[in-house]
Structure 1
Amino acid sequence: MFRDEESLFKDQAYRYFLFGIFAIAVSIFLSDLILSEMAKYVKMSSDLRETLGEAFRLVVLMVVIFLGHMQGRIYASDRESFAYGLLTGLPILAIAAAQLVLSIVQADPGYFSHTKLIVSTITIYTLTGIFEELLFRGVVLNAFQDAFAAKRAGTIWVSLILSALAFGMMHLVNLASGQDVVGTLMQVIEATAVGLCFGAVYLRCRNIWVVVILHALTDLSRAIGTNAQTAVDAQNANVNAAASILSILPSLVILLGLTLFLLRKSKMEELVEERQEGGIEARPSLN
């Protein structure tokens, strides 16, 4: 019914959405299935298996990116966009850095004597940051945006929300590993908010390596904070479900508030103009 500028979706737009879903399914679920089958024949520790799992997913995802001819677009980087992205994501960077320092200060002194554990933790969460950002911001967000012929604020928001929901819902798989429902629900909600915020940063700078750094540092600061706490702290961290849910409200407010700020009307207009011109050379100002 609608054609040219009035058309909301591109012809065969469903292919873009299917490609995004395909990338998620293959890089996460299929790679995990293959690795679990391999683990039946090779003995390995849980840390080694998790590290190999993240590395294997990343390799599979890179193949998917290559098959989708998205490598030039996703991996593109320059000093200007990188510096601009770090400035755009500075609040997230500052919070993650402060949380990391606080975790180290409050850590059980014996934790840092486990060098192998620390190296394993850093490796796993770095690989996780690379994989999840390449997948959900690099592939999924871009694929969903490409499905819309109409280049306007509404379609950018829809693409961002859908990619963030996909990122959040992915954490439902933790139920299969025995995680409780409340804890998993908290992860889904918070991960969706994180997906919105990281997606907003990526849309502003179009440099995937910026959000990779933000993601890896955020996850690493939380992981060290969780693993390095004393036994008493660990017990107090799970007092009751209501308190646990309330504990994520401050981060939700910060993440959603920052998302709205980064994609405020004036900046969204610049993003729309950028997409209409078909390029990313014109960087929005920081003002």
Structure 2
Amino acid sequence: MNKTKYRLGIILFIVVYFVSTILLQFINGIGAGMVDYMIHSIINVAMYIVFILAFGLKKSLRFNLKSLGEGIVVGGAFTLWTVFNIFYYIIRGIKEYGTPLMETKGIIIFVIAITIGAGMGEEFLTRGVLFNFIRSAIGNTKAGIITAMIIPSMAFGLKHLGNLSGCSDPTPVYAQVIYAIGIGFLFNAVYVRCGNIWACSILHAAFDLSVMVYFCIYRNEGLEGVGSLVAEWLGYDALILKGVAITVGFFAVGLFLIRDSKLQKCIERYENEALEN
């Protein structure tokens, strides 16, 4: 019965998600600015939380310092990459511009919007709803968990196709779609290991901000030129190959994180939570 409930839940969520997306775009227009993006993100996060709670997965929202720290440690390679980006781009911004071209109020709104939109919104969507619903619909087996990791990763990558709007050269966006699939898979592996969605949310928001701090805050370019941001970040040559390389690398790391000796403990945790529900 539980599996059927979550299968129906997936269908219902997909319908509600697309209807709400269309309505929000109709009300405010596409790409209406960071304030509208923040408001949309808050509405979306609220919707994801409603689904998570309605289907008895409230434990997936729990905040625990121990598992939070475990998630950041388990995501070690990604954590180090993020820390490197933060220091590199802040130092570069200071050297080239001294102070950010974006005004202080804009910086605050930007940071809050990205934290809610990417950190919470995309994580609650892909991990909180999609991963948990798919895993519960298939079953807590190795095959079920890996399947539940792959599908949200693909959805996370394809979600970035929205950045094609107003983009003169689609190649950087295609590269972003590809490497986002790998990043999504790694986040799923971290989530399976630590069971703390807030760890993934923090890593996600910190990474996005680490890349954007120079391009969006110091140079004040905004998010309209995501394609050029990705191209400059990766380097302009062989963008697709670089995207593939990142994805292959993160898939390898993700599979290592959920190797059999570690995955069994995770399966036992999921089974115990299912019994409690």
TM-score range, shorter chain: 0.7 to 0.9
Contact preservation (8 Å) 1:171, 1:188: yes
Moved over 6 A (4+): 233-236, 238-241
8 Å CA contact retained: 2:181, 2:247:
no
Contact kept in structure 1, 2:172 and 2:230, CA below 8 Å: no
Deviation at 1:137, TM superposition (A): 0.4
Q: 1:17 to 1:182 in 2, by over 3 A?
A: farther
Aligned to 2:41, which of 37, 54, 59?
Answer: 54
Larger CA deviation: 194-203 vs 221-230: 221-230
The 1:213/1:234 distance shift into structure 2, 3 A limit, reads closer
TM-superposed deviation, 1:15: 4.9
Q: 1:38–1:230: structure 2 CA closer, same or farther, 3 Å change rule? A: closer
Q: Show CA shifts across 1:198-237 (max 9, x none).
A: 0000000101111110110011111123323599x97983
Q: Aligned residues: percent identity?
A: 27
Deviation at 1:62, TM superposition (A): 2.5
Q: How does 1:144-163 map to 2 (within 5 A)?
A: 144-149=134-139, 151-163=140-152
Q: Distance in 1 between matches of 2:88 and 2:14?
A: 34
Alignment deviations for residues 54-104 of structure 1 (CA, whole Å, 9 cap, x no partner)? 22222232333333333x222123232222222212322221011011111
Shift of 1:257: 2.8
1:164 partner amino acid: S
Aligned to 2:68: 82
**Structure 1: runs of 5+ lacking an equivalent:** 1-10, 281-287
Task: Pick the structure with greater CA Rg.
Answer: 1
Tell me the equivalent position of 1:99.
Answer: 85
User: 2:133 maps to which residue?
Assistant: 143
How does the TM-score come out when normalised to structure 1? 0.78
Q: CA deviation at 1:13?
A: 4.3
Structure 2 stretches lacking a partner, 5+ long:
222-227
CA RMSD between the two structures:
3.3
Q: Give matches, 1:89-128, under 5 Å.
A: 89-107=75-93, 108-109=96-97, 112-114=100-102, 115-128=104-117
Specify the alignment match of 2:182 in structure 1: 193
Q: Residue 256 of structure 1: CA displacement? A: 2.1
Deviation of the 1:265 alpha carbon? 2.5
1:164 equivalent to 2:150? Answer no
CA distance in 2, matches of 1:61, 1:118: 26
Give, in whole Å, the separation in 2 of the partners of 1:225 and 1:168: 23
Conserved? CA contact 1:153–1:268, under 8 Å: yes
Could you tell me how far apart the structure 2 residues matched to 1:21 and 1:181 are?
Answer: 31
Which of 170, 175, 178 lines up with 2:166 in the alignment? 178
Alpha-carbon separation, structure 2, partners of 1:113 and 1:173:
26
Q: 1:1-287 alignment to 2 at 5 Å? A: 13=3, 15-27=5-17, 29-39=18-28, 46-70=33-57, 72-107=58-93, 108-109=96-97, 112-114=100-102, 115-128=104-117, 129-149=119-139, 151-175=140-164, 177-179=165-167, 180-227=169-216, 228=218, 237=232, 242-249=237-244, 251-278=246-273
Tell me the CA shift for residue 144 of structure 1. Answer: 0.6
1:283 counterpart residue number = none
